[in-house]
Amino acid sequence: MVGIFVFSLPCSLYAQTVNQNLGPSGLPLPRFASIKPTRVNVRVGPGSNYSIIFTYKKQGLPIEIIQEYDQWRKIRDAEGDEGWVYQSLLSGKRTAITIPWQKDKTKRLMLRKSPTDNAELVAEVEPNVIGKIRQCDGHWCELKINNIRGWLHQLQLWGIYPDEKIKGW
């Protein structure tokens, strides 16, 4: 039997199974979050004395927190790159990026008015577009992309786990 715990984060509620690991912060590991400022240095280790390996220059970029050490978080991005950032540079606001694994960058996703394949088309979305997650039902997610709201298949997104549910805000 699998139990469900509900953890509250700013702007979202999501369910995790009992087997979920908890980090020193008391929050689940792994978990998704997003980059808070426009510019974030990513380091080789958990401290400002470690060298910078790259810099994110995109506010709202979804990342996965995979480890915690004191106030530092080891993160992974959609491309699989990993490094350490200071926790205050991360936000609990959930975002997702559309099919970052897609090689054909001309492919378009159909953003729908409601969570069904035959719902009215709201917009066509390119790969690697970031949207704010409003809610997910385990199969579909409602996103806000540049002030346009619509639904995409959850499996077309990176920044949310398969079958994860997020209550709307």
At 19 the pLDDT is 52
Please tell me the distance from the alpha carbon of residue 161 to that of residue 98, in angstroms, as a whole number.
13
Supply the pLDDT for residue 2. Answer: 32
pLDDT score for 169: 63
Same fold, 4-93 and 97-166: yes
Let me know how many helices (H) and strands (E) the chain has, helices first: 0, 19
pLDDT in tens, 76-126: 999 999 999 999 999 999 999 999 998 888 899 999 999 999 999 999 999
Q: Which residue has the tokens 């996103």?
A: 143
- Tens-place pLDDT, residues 56-90: 999 999 999 999 999 999 999 999 999 999 999 99
**What does the DSSP 8-state code read for residue 151?**
E
**Residues in the chain, total:** 169
pLDDT at 105: 83
The residue-averaged pLDDT of 148-169 equals: 95
| CA–CA separation, 143 and 133 (whole Å) | 5
Q: Where along the chain do its domains lie?
A: 4-93, 97-166
> DSSP 3-state assignment of 88?
helix
Hey, what CATH topology would domain 4-93 get?
SH3 type barrels. (2.30.30)
Contact 111, 125 (CB under 8 A): yes
Q: pLDDT-derived band of residue 164, with 50, 70 and 90 as boundaries?
A: very high
97-166 has which CATH code?
A: 2.30.30.40
To which residue do tokens 């990342």 refer?
63
Give pLDDT tens digits for 23-69: 999 999 999 999 999 999 999 999 999 999 999 999 999 999 999 99
Identify the pLDDT of residue 55: 98
Whole-Å CA distances, 92 to 88, 105, 107: 10, 29, 30
Best CA proximity match to 40, nearest among 91, 98, 113, 106: 91
